[in-house]
Structure 1
Amino acid sequence: MDQTTVPTGYMRNAQGHLVPLELVKPIDQERDRLVRELAALAKDLNARLVAGKSKMFGDVAAFVEISAEQYGVKRGGLKGNVTLSTYDGAYKLQIATAENVTFDERLQAAKTLIDECINEWAKDSRPEIMVLVQQAFQTDKEGNLNVGRILGLRRLEITDHRWQEAMKAIGESVQVIGTKQYVRLYERVGGTDRYAPIALDMVAV
């Protein structure tokens, strides 16, 4: 909320009303001051992270382009996964590209075929398969399907032709709706071959 228009001697409350300072409890004033101070710090950190991320991607893309030109190759941008290390191996930088995957309407056809198999197999008691299928099609709190679990069904060695058709439908229903790139930095631990990540998020630090 913009506080620049608040007159001296007043504070604006959550409903947008101006309240004289003498009517605002000291603890409420102190809470307001503290949160504003920390919010300013958070915004500064966020801006630096955005700038740092942009510099990392830009500098790595430029380096990859220069490296490719050494062999007469024109890449045209940063694509795929890249790992760069310092000469002594003390630091390692990785840029990974992850695809955002969803399923189209063919997943429903696959689910119908799978249900047919499960309903028939239930008579012969194959609970482990039933549990795997039930877990695979469970959604999270946002109603999203777990892509990994559904694709994992294709690793099951089941020869039933309906199951095979379902697995084919699952494979054909996969839709890549976008990609995200992640940058990760690692520092080698002492004289070992183990690398520890350099945390860039609030939860990890």
Structure 2
Amino acid sequence: MNLNQNTTPAGYWQDAKGALIPVDKIKPIDRARDELVKELVAKSYELSALLAAFKQQAFADIAAFVQLSAEEYNAEVGGKKGNLTLYTFDGSYKIVRAISENIRFDERLQAAKALIDECLKDWTAGASSELKAIVNSAFDADKQGNISTAKILGLRRLDIKDARWLTAMTAIGEAIQVVGSKAYIRVYERIGDTDQYRQIPLDLAAVAL
């Protein structure tokens, strides 16, 4: 984006409503604010471009290393679904490449809910209020209409042997649809002589002042 692009007539500034204001009618404090914001925005674009270039280069370098390791040393480097951690020789630093999948559920989730409702109805006398709360909250949607993936998948960890429940858990598993993924690079440094690491912040909000 070119912050210096200006299509307004000479001697005028355009305000947020699109009106043209003579420059000599604009207060000095308003001009100073405009200059400050544009200066910081320009630097933000530069920083964003640097981070984008770093991310692209980091993923390319890691992918090249994994390929080299597989070819030269016949070694398995990494983990499930592309997640892996690389350490320096002395363990002082590590880099984590993480792939986060965006999961949604298809219409089979409704079939699972119907089966679960049948179970809860039959278990009314014996089922604890805590179990009912866990099950019901798992299907609660947020303001955007999204259901918590973690809560739904958490139901599968409950040790319940009822055939209908087990069928419902199968339906939940089959209802999972991966609709996209996001890749992350996280860089860490070891804290002193401990086995603990702290993340080197690449997020503006997380950088210490």
Q: TM-score, normalised by structure 1?
A: 0.89
Judge conservation of contact 2:88–2:94 (CA < 8 Å) in 1.
yes
Match of 2:170 among 158, 162, 168: 168
* Equivalent AA in structure 2 for residue 55 of structure 1: Q
Match of 2:44 among 39, 42, 45: 42
Output the aligned Cα RMSD.
2.1
Q: Distance in 2 between matches of 1:23 and 1:123?
A: 76
* Equivalent AA in structure 2 for residue 157 of structure 1: D
Q: Distance in 2 between matches of 1:23 and 1:134?
A: 61
Q: Distance in 2 between matches of 1:29 and 1:166?
A: 63
Structure 2 counterparts to residues 114-125 of structure 1, below 5 A: 114-124=116-126
Q: How many residue pairs are counted as aligned between the two chains?
A: 201
Task: Say yes or no: does 1:190 pair with 2:195.
Answer: no
Secondary structure, in 3 states, of the residue corresponding to 2:182?
strand
Assess, with a 3 A threshold, how the Cα gap between structure 1 residues 87 and 72 changes in structure 2: closer, same or farther. closer
2:151 maps to which residue?
A: 149
Partner deviation per Cα, 1:73-93 (whole Å, 9 max, x = no partner): 8x9xxx612211111111101
Match of 1:106 among 105, 108, 119: 108
Structure 2 counterparts to residues 33-112 of structure 1, below 5 A: 33-71=35-73, 80-112=82-114
- Extract unaligned runs of 5+ from structure 2: none
The percentage of counterpart residues that share the same residue type is 53
Q: TM-score, normalised by structure 2?
A: 0.88
1:139 maps to which residue?
A: 141
Q: Distance in 2 between matches of 1:159 and 1:131?
A: 19
Structure 2 counterparts to residues 193-204 of structure 1, below 5 A: 193-204=195-206
* Equivalent AA in structure 2 for residue 23 of structure 1: K
- Extract unaligned runs of 5+ from structure 1: none
* Equivalent AA in structure 2 for residue 41 of structure 1: K
How far off its partner does 1:72 sit? 6.0
* Equivalent AA in structure 2 for residue 101 of structure 1: I
Moved more, 7-16 or 106-115: 7-16
